[in-house]
Amino acid sequence: MAFANASHFTIGDAQFINAATYYELPDESDALRTLLKGSAINATTESASASYAPTCHPSTRQTVTKDLMTWARGSRPDSVSILWLSGPAGGGKTCILRRIVELCRAEDLFAACFFFSTYYPDTRTESRFIITLAAQLTQSIPQITPFLVEALNKDPTILQKSLEAQMKALIFGPLEASQRRRSASGLKALFRSLKSKSPQTHRIILIDGLDECIEEKEQAHILRLVHEMATHPHFPFRFVIASRPEYTIRTMFSSPPLSDISRIMRLETYEADRDIHLYLQTEFARLRTTHPASTSIPAGWPFTEDGDMLVTKASGQFVYVATVIKHLDNPRRNPVIELRHILDLQPGDTDTAVNVNDNPFSELDALYTKILHPPNVDIPLLKSILHAILHNKGHEFKTPSSIDAVLGFERGTCDMALMDLHSVVAVEPTSTRTDVPISFHHKSLADFLMSPGRARDLYQSKDETHLMLAMAYYQLVLRIDNNGCGDDDDSGPITTGDSIPTKGSVAGTADNAVYPASAFHHAILVENWSLFETEFVRDTFPKFVEQHFFGTVASAQWHDSWSITFFWGIDQCSDLYHQCLCTTGQACLRSCKRLKHLADLVQDGLYPDSDFWKLIRADSARSRREKLEELLDGVNPTV
């Protein structure tokens, strides 16, 4: 026979034919090249772009890393198939997941990863998700490669088909085929054959930035695919998913079937200030030695209080301090001077920046602009809500419904407006809402919103916000007063009852309108004296006061019961009634147009003489004191 003793030969692109089966075995590399060409290399941690991606400082994020790896190793008895790392924008989720990828590789736990990102066309959609995972599985588990190649050869159009079809052909099919070819222990033997350093028989697939998949329906689709894979009997992998707590994602994780097999790890529950401080110490030490201006940098720079201020400004946001360091690392600028500029920045200071380099927070601004402009956003509505939260000093806005009630929105409006913004706005879940007020995750967002050059279409001045709230509270007071206190009114968007903000100090008051009224007066009399000169206050407010405060015994009784509504303002006042008097009196003293009203209050016996004259004597404007004495016919009670 011609080939009896032949050796060192190959058969390429051969075809073997028998009576029952036709096999074509092309070169395996062709199929793999096709698979790799269809994958998204930028979604992996080994792409060229990944080498420039930020990473965690070795001494930071140790606790959350330990918890993630404990779960990944399967050493927890309550381990489930999917772990969702949820966290606000800028918290460092991507850096953490990159570290987990490295650790999983080192322990032979890594199977595949997909890092979604809006920076690249192939990483901001779902189209290459399954293909990219399959391509990586040929490297992490090479034993399945022949079966995957067989699937590609069997159906060359598979890369153009649905993700479900790709999942079955490129992942489930090869895994099942491997199991059929192995011993009775199936894939467990396969993993043992890899001589893993860890005893478990599963590996980890990591998905980062799911919220950066631009279509919400695709985010939901990815999670349905993950659930199907995680519950497949021949699928020996577990998932770690990191994302912001956006509406679609958090809704799916909080309800079956995904909630049945998943665990949620909230990044904000891990103390970040220590880690941020360590990061800053390391980076400042590097700048002191490597920056071109290093010879002029003091040895103790920056001062402890400056570092503490940066940590405070960061409010757990790594992206903030990373942005600061990147700005200071400019070799053409003195970092000592630049840091002082940053620490001294006030809202609006960056509005005169002529280019990106003059605004140290340009990258942070880009992040906020992206998050705050989701598809179909109603800018005027969102602007009103954000600035109401921004000036929520009395913590009256504890729920979205309280904002709806005050600003006159239909029920559910605020919830819908904020549903995609939970990465920057802290809103308690509907099912577990407490008395924690709505707030921003990061202080830097407040600075952003107060700067017209940075916030642009979302900017609203402090005066505009105070007037907006004053008018809103005024309308709410009138509505409640007209409808009667404590009666729920379904005829319009503003209702009484639980939706109306309440203050702890008036919690026992029967009158539901007390707090809205006090908030109205606070917005005018305390927050912004200049509102006295607006048309709204000149015309509407006096009519409101005259209607309720003057002329009848009933109005006097009404004022007496409502005196608590002026309780803001003077710290030295011992009770709410006197705070009422002092705040109202100060407002009148600051506007001569209000002196007649104040005099009428005194003459009608509604303003105790002694308290009134204490206030008058403390006022430095002699002309106003004389005017008041004239209005009161020169009466000067003894204090």
Tell me if 531 sits within 8 A of 467, measured CB to CB.
Answer: yes
CB environment 554-570: b (16+ within 10 A), e (fewer): ebbeebeebbbbbbbbb
- pLDDT class of 395 with cuts at 50, 70, 90: low
Q: What is the pLDDT of residue 54?
A: 79
CB environment 440-461: b (16+ within 10 A), e (fewer): bbbbbbbbbbbbeebbeebbbe
Instruction: Tell me the pTM.
Output: 0.65
pLDDT above 90 coverage of the chain, percent: 37
What integer best gives the mean pLDDT of the chain? 73
* Residue ranges with strand state E in 244-339: 262-266
11 DSSP assignment: -
pLDDT in tens, 509-559: 324 444 454 555 555 544 554 554 445 444 555 455 445 444 443 343 334
- Lookup: tokens for 332: 């053409």
- pLDDT class of 153 with cuts at 50, 70, 90: very high
Residue 334 CA: distances (Å) to CA of 279, 337, 526: 20, 6, 42
Q: Rounded CA gap, 116 and 125, in Å?
A: 8
| Least confidently predicted of 182-191, 254-263, 546-555 | 546-555
Q: What is the pLDDT of residue 509?
A: 30
Helix (H, G, I), strand (E, B) or coil at 243: strand
Q: What is the pLDDT of residue 301?
A: 94
Tell me if 61 sits within 8 A of 275, measured CB to CB.
Answer: yes
* Residue ranges with strand state E in 209-322: 237-243, 262-266
Q: What is the pLDDT of residue 463?
A: 76
Residues 67-80 have a mean pLDDT of 78
Q: Rounded CA gap, 85 and 513, in Å?
A: 43
Quick check: 110 pLDDT over 70?
yes
In the chain, the N- to C-terminal Cα span, in Å, equals: 130
| Least confidently predicted of 204-218, 226-240, 375-389, 454-468 | 454-468
Question: How many C-alpha atoms does 41 have within 13 Å on its Cβ side?
Answer: 9
Q: Rounded CA gap, 593 and 538, in Å?
A: 9
Residue with tokens 């309108």: 513
Residue with tokens 């698979």: 35
Helix (H, G, I), strand (E, B) or coil at 22: strand
Tell me if 451 sits within 8 A of 345, measured CB to CB.
Answer: no
Q: Is 585 left (phi over 0), alpha (psi -120 to 50) or beta?
A: alpha
Higher-confidence residue of 395 and 367: namely 367
Sheet containing 82-86: order of strands: 110-115, 203-208, 237-243, 82-86, 262-266
540 DSSP assignment: I
Q: What is the pLDDT of residue 436?
A: 65
- pLDDT class of 200 with cuts at 50, 70, 90: low
Q: What is the pLDDT of residue 506?
A: 29
pLDDT in tens, 119-143: 888 999 999 999 999 999 999 999 9
> What are the residues whose beta carbons fall under 8 Å from the beta carbon of 502, sequence distance 6 or more?
396, 515
Tell me if 80 sits within 8 A of 87, measured CB to CB.
Answer: no
pLDDT in tens, 165-176: 999 999 999 999
> What are the residues whose beta carbons fall under 8 Å from the beta carbon of 252, sequence distance 6 or more?
220, 223, 258
Residues 187-214 have a mean pLDDT of 71
Quick check: 116 pLDDT over 90?
yes
Q: Rounded CA gap, 42 and 49, in Å?
A: 7
Quick check: 17 pLDDT over 60?
no
Tell me if 569 sits within 8 A of 556, measured CB to CB.
Answer: no
> What are the residues whose beta carbons fall under 8 Å from the beta carbon of 319, sequence distance 6 or more?
89, 90, 91, 92, 363, 364, 367
- pLDDT class of 245 with cuts at 50, 70, 90: very high
Q: What is the pLDDT of residue 444?
A: 82
Quick check: 96 pLDDT over 60?
yes
- Lookup: tokens for 65: 């890393």
Higher-confidence residue of 136 and 197: namely 136
Domains of the chain: 30-269 (3.40.50.300), 273-344 (no CATH), 482-639 (no CATH)
Scanning 304-396, the segments in alpha helix (DSSP H) are 304-314, 318-328, 335-344, 362-371, 379-390
Tell me if 397 sits within 8 A of 503, measured CB to CB.
Answer: no
Residues 47-56 have a mean pLDDT of 82
Residues in the chain: 639
Higher-confidence residue of 444 and 247: namely 247
Quick check: 86 pLDDT over 90?
yes
- pLDDT class of 483 with cuts at 50, 70, 90: low
Q: What is the pLDDT of residue 134?
A: 97
